[in-house]
């Protein structure tokens, strides 16, 4: 495939923000002479966060609208798509490893199309590397233009040309994209795209662009259609859902208003992720305290317990204000289950700073946490901060932190021992196919023996055992 008309990302442009409200477009499918995917199989790999999982469902929806059929066997696929994550170096290494494997597959099957999308192509360094050393990649596209994927496929399949199309600045919000959802009873619902926070370690504001909120009427009508299809649970998605609506020029409608409207709808369970502590307002807590279909579970990433490190991270809150928010949440929603994200080994983090983090973890009473060692991301401010802590020391801190976090996880499970809980049954347990599994309102994983007819239903279970990572339940027979 030859080299022409490449559109590569420019990090400097990705950093820019305008005040203008984003316009909204309805998706208009391109009319092709014949179905692009007739008789063809595709295989998709999804890395990273829920935003990517939701994007992959849209990619699948687009492909299936053109007759492609999904397979999970790479060897028989005509099209392989990798939806990538850029958040840490490890995630990127995995993708480059996989691409190595496709090189030999393509030698055996030259008509195989390999496409790389998602967050990695939004990085200048990645696209340069792909163009230089990964000639097996036919299509490189980013997060802002996945709705154009079919057009790129047309060029790659019919014209046998390589396509590199990565936009650095986000475009319109595209509504009505087809989506092939993975589950028949749990659905992701994007409420906003992008992030304007610019935490100094984070690549997301560059890869996903400016914060853009979907209009409430579009969100509410998507949720109504999910209800009509029998969905039981929705998870509202955004990098910082608490700042939903701040970008509207012509209306005053915030996250608490959205939760309030959704609370009145006939969907049994509503979750949301991810929240930023600085924007977790009293209005939001008050709506959540209405309970009902608003689940008593909040993921509230704290990142560090040291005020010095929080400042260097540009998090815009302190340990004290975070704990105050937690207290307000606990006062108004006493049964709340809280989880968090924590980064250890941020540049300049001393033993004293780390102890502050351990102290905060104890005080906040988290029932789970995703913990990471700081990974420098090229183009972010923190990648240039002085960092003298040896890697070995960072790993030790991660180990010490995880020990405390795991205790919190276990305590969170223990409080449901001997209680009745409601579980949304998802399917056979991943660890034991003779058991079913699902999640409680508080987002606790439960395994139990039951009839597969229960899959997709809300079932009451008695908890008979609490382990660190899961609960064991039994159907209650009075």
> By the criterion CB under 6 A, which residues form the site for ligand 5AD?
87-88, 201-202, 301, 303, 341, 343, 372, 374-375, 377
Q: Give min distance, CB of 94 to ligand SF4, in A.
A: 20
Residues that bind ligand SF4 (CB under 6 A): 195, 197-199, 202, 204-205, 239-240, 276
Q: Give min distance, CB of 88 to ligand 5AD, in A.
A: 5
- Selection from ligand 5AD, ligand SF4, none that 374 binds (CB < 5 to 8 A by kind) is ligand 5AD
Rounded CA gap, 142 and 164, in Å? 9
Residues in the chain: 478
**To 10 degrees, the CA torsion angle through 33, 35, 39, 41?**
130
> Looking only at Cα atoms, what is the longest distance across the chain?
71
Measured from the CB atom, the residue of 56 and 304 that comes closer to ligand SF4 is 304
Q: Give min distance, CB of 476 to ligand SF4, in A.
A: 41
Q: What residues does 276 pair with on adjacent strands? A: none
In the complex, which residue's CB is closest to ligand 5AD? 341
Measured from the CB atom, the residue of 56 and 240 that comes closer to ligand SF4 is 240
Measured from the CB atom, the residue of 377 and 447 that comes closer to ligand 5AD is 377
Beta strand ranges found along 224-353 (DSSP E): 233-237, 269-273, 297-299, 337-344
Measured from the CB atom, the residue of 240 and 459 that comes closer to ligand SF4 is 240
Q: What residues does 82 pair with on adjacent strands? A: 45, 116
Measured from the CB atom, the residue of 268 and 381 that comes closer to ligand 5AD is 381
- Selection from ligand 5AD, ligand SF4, none that 167 binds (CB < 5 to 8 A by kind) is none
Measured from the CB atom, the residue of 197 and 222 that comes closer to ligand SF4 is 197
Measured from the CB atom, the residue of 147 and 315 that comes closer to ligand SF4 is 315
Q: Give min distance, CB of 214 to ligand 5AD, in A.
A: 21
Other Cβ atoms within 10 Å of 290 Cβ, number: 13
Q: Give min distance, CB of 167 to ligand SF4, in A.
A: 19
Rounded CA gap, 290 and 282, in Å? 13
Rounded CA gap, 74 and 63, in Å? 16
Q: Give min distance, CB of 443 to ligand 5AD, in A.
A: 17
Burial 441-451 (b: 16+ CB within 10 A, else e): bbbbbbbbebe
- Selection from ligand SF4, ligand 5AD, none that 377 binds (CB < 5 to 8 A by kind) is ligand 5AD
- Selection from ligand SF4, ligand 5AD, none that 197 binds (CB < 5 to 8 A by kind) is ligand SF4
Rounded CA gap, 417 and 400, in Å? 27
- Selection from ligand 5AD, ligand SF4, none that 240 binds (CB < 5 to 8 A by kind) is ligand SF4
Give, in degrees to the nearest 5, the angle at Cα 121 between 276 and 15.
Answer: 50
Query: Considering only CA atoms, which of 87, 310, 50 is closest in space to residue 206?
Result: 87
Decide: helix, strand or coil at residue 473.
Answer: strand
Measured from the CB atom, the residue of 306 and 472 that comes closer to ligand SF4 is 306
404: phi then psi, degrees, rounded to nearest 5? -70, -40
Q: Give min distance, CB of 301 to ligand 5AD, in A.
A: 4
Q: Give min distance, CB of 276 to ligand SF4, in A.
A: 5
Return the structure tokens found at 193.
Answer: 């795209």
């Amino acid at each position: 495939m030859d080299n022409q008309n490449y559109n590569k990302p420019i990090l400097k442009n990705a950093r820019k923000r305008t005040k203008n409200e984003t316009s909204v477009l309805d998706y208009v499918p391109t009319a092709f002479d014949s179905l692009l995917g007739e008789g063809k199989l595709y295989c998709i790999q999804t890395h990273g966060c829920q935003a990517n999982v939701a994007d992959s469902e849209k990619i699948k929806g687009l492909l299936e609208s053109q007759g492609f059929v999904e397979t999970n066997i790479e060897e028989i696929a005509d099209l392989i798509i990798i939806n990538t994550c850029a958040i840490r170096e490890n995630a990127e290494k995995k993708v480059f490893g996989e691409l190595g494997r496709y090189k030999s597959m393509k030698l055996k099957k030259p008509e195989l199309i390999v496409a790389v999308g998602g967050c990695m192509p939004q990085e200048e360094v990645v696209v340069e590397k792909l163009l230089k050393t990964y000639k097996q990649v036919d299509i490189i596209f980013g997060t802002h233009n996945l709705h154009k994927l079919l057009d790129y496929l047309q060029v790659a399949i019919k014209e046998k040309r390589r396509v590199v199309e990565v936009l650095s600045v986000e475009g319109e919000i595209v509504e009505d994209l087809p989506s092939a959802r993975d589950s028949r009873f749990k659905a992701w619902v994007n409420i906003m795209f992008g992030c304007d926070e610019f935490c100094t370690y984070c690549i997301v504001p560059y890869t996903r662009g400016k914060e853009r909120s979907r209009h409430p009427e579009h969100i509410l009508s998507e949720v109504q259609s999910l209800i009509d299809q029998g969905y039981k649970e929705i998870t509202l998605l955004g990098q910082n859902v608490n700042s939903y609506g701040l970008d509207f020029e012509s209306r005053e409608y915030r996250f608490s208003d959205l939760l309030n409207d959704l609370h009145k709808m006939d969907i049994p369970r509503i979750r949301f992720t991810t929240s930023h502590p600085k924007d977790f307002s009293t209005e939001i807590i008050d709506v959540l305290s209405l309970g009902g279909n608003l689940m008593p579970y909040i993921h509230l990433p704290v990142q560090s317990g040291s005020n010095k490190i929080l400042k260097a991270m540009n998090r815009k809150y302190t340990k004290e204000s975070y704990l105050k928010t937690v207290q307000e949440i606990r006062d108004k929603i006493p049964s709340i289950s809280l989880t968090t994200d924590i980064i250890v080994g941020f540049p300049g983090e001393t033993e004293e700073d780390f102890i502050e983090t351990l102290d905060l973890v104890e005080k906040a009473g988290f029932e789970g946490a995703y913990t990471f060692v700081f990974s420098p991301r090229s183009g972010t401010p923190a990648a240039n901060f002085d960092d003298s802590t040896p890697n070995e020391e960072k790993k030790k801190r991660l180990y010490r932190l995880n020990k405390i976090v795991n205790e919190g996880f276990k305590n969170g499970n223990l409080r449901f021992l001997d209680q009745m809980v409601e579980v949304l049954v998802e399917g056979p347990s991943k660890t034991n196919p003779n058991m079913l599994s699902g999640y409680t309102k508080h987002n606790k994983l439960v395994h139990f023996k039951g009839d597969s007819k229960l899959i997709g239903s809300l079932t009451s279970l008695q908890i008979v055992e609490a382990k660190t990572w899961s609960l064991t339940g039994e159907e209650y027979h009075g």
